[in-house]
Structures are given as structure tokens and as C-alpha cells.
Structure 1
Amino acid sequence: MPTALLNGLGTAVPLLIGVAVGLRWTLPKAVLAAMMAFGAGTMIAAMSEELFAPAFRRDGPLIAGAALFAGAGVYVVADHLIENMLGPAAIGWALLLGTVLDGVPENLALGVSLSGGGGLVLLVAIAAGNAPEALSGAVLMREQHGFETARTFALWAVTASVLVAVTVLGNGFAGSVSTTAISVVQAFAGGATIAVLADSLIPEAYLEGGWRVGMATAAGFFVAFAIG
């Protein structure tokens, strides 16, 4: 339990730091873009190595593939609904939504993997992805939606608390759930991650940083892959 709590905090604290920075300062676009791209690269490595690959090996393409597309589909539909309601300025909400939709199953998968002594790559990837995602989301909510500082921080703080809780719960129930259920959670998280990267994080990074973000993405992938 203490290990799961510490790992949960390891994913939540960078998120809150990113929000605090985003509410206080507006970083240079190139710096923010590089951070977002680096986080995207780490998530690509973690998604393939620690989320989808184990599910695919354990339960095959039918179950893993269905869960993958379900995760992607849930995010895409929810993101589309937000865009219809808020228009182009919805990217801040989309990043918050992405943190919830991919973060909850990711942190559940993290909690489960800790029972087997793994999870380091996933922890690093989630932390590296959460900080720039939350930072950029907070900046956009402040600048484009005029959210009050306290309200914005409270929204992200609730999200961070949920991520810690599901990490602990995932670890606590790791021994009592079926391997197929674990595969579904992992693959669903992988699908949601792919959708977040494709629809929100990478396009926003490219928009802010241009062609250079490709190198930052590659660097993030290399770091996470090397740790694994």
C-alpha cells in the first residue's frame, strides 16, 4: 500500500506542479512545446511496452484490440462533444479530459503492475506526460476561458486525487481480478493514450513549436524505452 501511494503521488505531484506553473506564468512557446512533445514520446513508449503489449500477449488481438479501440473511441467522442460546445478554444478542457480518460486506466494499470515488481517505465511516462499536459491545459483555461485561479487548480487537484486513489485501488485489487480484466484495463488505457496524443497533445505541441518538436518526441521515447 505505501508503495502504491508513493507511485500515485509520483504521477499526481508533477500534474499539480504543471498546473501551478501554468496558472502563474506563461512559458515560452518553444519550451512548452518541447515539454509536451517529450511527454508524448514517453507515453508512446509506455503505451506500447507496458500497456498494450502485455494485454496483447496475454489475451490476444480480439480482447486487446477491442479494449484499445474502446479507449480511443471514448476519448474521441467526448473530445468531439466538448469541441462542439466550446469551439476551437476547447483544447484546455480536452487536455483535462485526456488526463482523466487515459490517466484513470493508466494509474489502475500502474497499481496492478506494482504487485509484480514492475511499473517504473509507466510511472516515468505518466509523470512526464502529466506535467506539460496540465501546464498547457491550465494556461489555456486561464487565457481562453478566463477561469479563476482557484477554480482551475481545484479542478486539476480533484483529478490528481483521483489518480492517486485509483493507483492504490489497482494495487489493492491486483490479486483478486482476472488477468483478462487487467488486459482490458491496460489496452483501454493504451487506446485512450493514442487518442489523446493524436487529437490534442502532439498537434498542440507542433502548433506551438513547429518541426523541432519531432526531436523532443524522439528524446522522450528514447528515455522511457531505455528505462524499460
Structure 2
Amino acid sequence: MLTALLYGIATALPLAVGAAIGLHWQLPRAVLAGLMAFGAGTMIAAASSELFDPAFHQAGAAIAGIALFAGAGVYVICNHLIANRLGPAAIGWALMLGTVLDGIPENTALGVSLTTGGGLVLVVAIAVGNVPEAVSGAALMRQAHGFSPVRALSLWITTATVLVAVTVAGYALSDTIPPTGISAVQAFAGGATIAVLADSLMPEAYREGGWWVGLCTAAGFMLAFVLG
């Protein structure tokens, strides 16, 4: 249980730290873009090797595929509704939404995987991916939506606390969740992660940084792949 708590904190603490940075400091656009691209690379590796691959092999193409598209669909629809309501300035909310929609199943999968001695790649990918999401999301909440620093930081800290609790709960309930259920959670998280990358994180990184951010994405992927 202590291991699950520490792993949960390791994924959630970057959210609070990243939000504090985004609210109090104006990072250079190139630095922020590089962080987002690097985090995207780690998340690509985790979504394929730590989330969808085990789900595909355990539950089969049908169940894993349905869960994958469900995760992507939920994020895409929610993001579309937010964008229609708030317009282009909605990227801050979109990044936070992505953190919740992929974070909850990801951290559940992380807690479950700890029972078999796995989870290192996933915890690194989640932690590294959470930093730029929180930095950019919190900064855009302040700049585009006029959130006070206290309100924005409270939202991100609440999200971080939920993710810690989800990790511990996933670990505690791992014996009661059937293997197919675990696979569905993993594939759902993989789908939500892919949608976050395609709809929000990678386009924003390219828009802020330009052509060279592909190298940062490759570096993030390489790190997660080597750890795996």
C-alpha cells in the first residue's frame, strides 16, 4: 500500500508543481513547447506498451478496441463541447480535462500493475506528461479565463489528490477486478491519452515551438522506451 501511495504521489505532485510554475512564472514559449513535446513522447510509449498492448493480449482486439475508442471518444466529445462554449481559449480547460480523463484510468492501471511488480514506465510517463499539461493549462486558465492563482491552483491540487487516491484504490481493489475489467481500464486510458495528444498537447506544442519540437517528442519516447 505504501508503494502505491508513493507512486501515486510521484504522478500527482508534478501537477501541483507544474500549475504553480504556470501561475507564477512566464516560461519562454520554446521551453513550454519542449516540455509539452517531451511529455507527449513519453505518453506515446506508455499508451502503446503499458496500456494498450497488455489489454490487447489479455482481452483481445474486440474488447480492447472498444475500450480504446470509448476513451478517445469521451475525451473528443467533452473537448468539443468545451471548445464550442469557450472558443479557442478553451485549451487550458482541455488540458485539465485530458489530465482527468486519462489520469483516472491511467492511475487505476498503475495501482493494479504494482501488484505484479510493473508500473515504472507508466509512472515516469504520467509524471513527465503531467508537468507540461499543468504548466500550460494553469497559465492559460490565468491568461485566457482570468482565474485567480488561488482558484486555478486549487483545481489542479484537487485533481492531483484524486489521482493519488485512485492509484491507491486501484492497488487495493486489484484482487477484486477481473482481468478483462483491468484490460478495459487500460485500453480506455490508452484511448484517452491518444486523443489528448492528437487534439491538445501535440498541436499546442507545435504551435508554440515550431518544427523542432519533433525532436523533443522523440527524446521523450526514447526515455520511456528505454525504461520499459
- When normalised by structure 1's length, the TM-score is 1.00
Letter in 2 for 1:139: A
Residue type at the aligned position of 2:69: F
For 1:3-14, what aligned pairs fall within 5 Å after superposition? 3-14=3-14
State the SS of the aligned residue for 2:111.
helix
Which residue pairs with 2:21 in the alignment?
Answer: 21
Q: Where do 4+ consecutive residues of structure 1 move more than 3 Å?
A: none
Partner residue, 2:141: 141
Q: Which residue of 1 aligns with 2:211?
A: 211
Answer yes or no: is 1:196 the counterpart of 2:178.
Answer: no
Residue 175 of structure 1: SS of its match in structure 2? coil
Please state how far the C-alpha of 1:80 moved relative to its aligned partner: 0.3
* 1:175-222 deviation per Cα after TM superposition (whole angstroms, max 9, x unaligned): 111000000000000000000000000000000000010000000000
How is 1:92-171 mapped onto 2 (pairs within 5 angstroms)? 92-171=92-171
Which residue number in structure 2 is paired with residue 184 of structure 1? 184
Query: 1:95, CA displacement in angstroms?
Result: 0.3
- 1:218 partner SS: helix
Aligned-residue offset at 1:149 = 0.6
* Structure 1 residue 54, shift from structure 2 partner: 0.0
Q: Confirm or deny that 1:74 pairs with 2:74.
A: yes
**Matching residue's letter, 1:23:** L
Alignment root-mean-square deviation, CA: 0.4
Residue 226 of structure 2: aligned partner: 226
Match of 1:71, SS state, is helix
Q: Which runs of 5 or more residues in structure 2 are unaligned?
A: none
In the alignment, structure 1 segments of 5+ residues that lack a partner are none
Identity of aligned residues (%): 69
What SS class does the counterpart of residue 60 from structure 2 fall into?
Answer: helix
Partner Cα distance (1:189, 1:177) in 2: 16
Q: CA deviation at 1:26?
A: 1.1
Deviations 1:18-59 (A, max 9, x none): 000001011000000000000000000000000000000001
Is residue 50 of structure 2 the alignment partner of residue 50 of structure 1? yes
Normalising by structure 2, we get a TM-score of 1.00
**Structure 2 Cα separation of the partners of residues 39 and 203 of structure 1:** 13
Separation (CA, whole Å) in 2 of partners of 1:59 and 1:99 = 25
- In 2, Cα distance between equivalents of 1:59 and 1:8: 26
2:211 is paired with a residue of what secondary structure? helix
Letter paired with 2:153: F
Deviation per residue, 1:84-142 (Å, 9 max, x gap): 10000000000000000000000000000001000000000000000110000011001
Q: Following the alignment from structure 1 to structure 2, what is the Cα–Cα distance between the partners of residues 26 and 141? A: 13
Residue 211 of structure 1 aligns to a residue whose secondary structure is coil
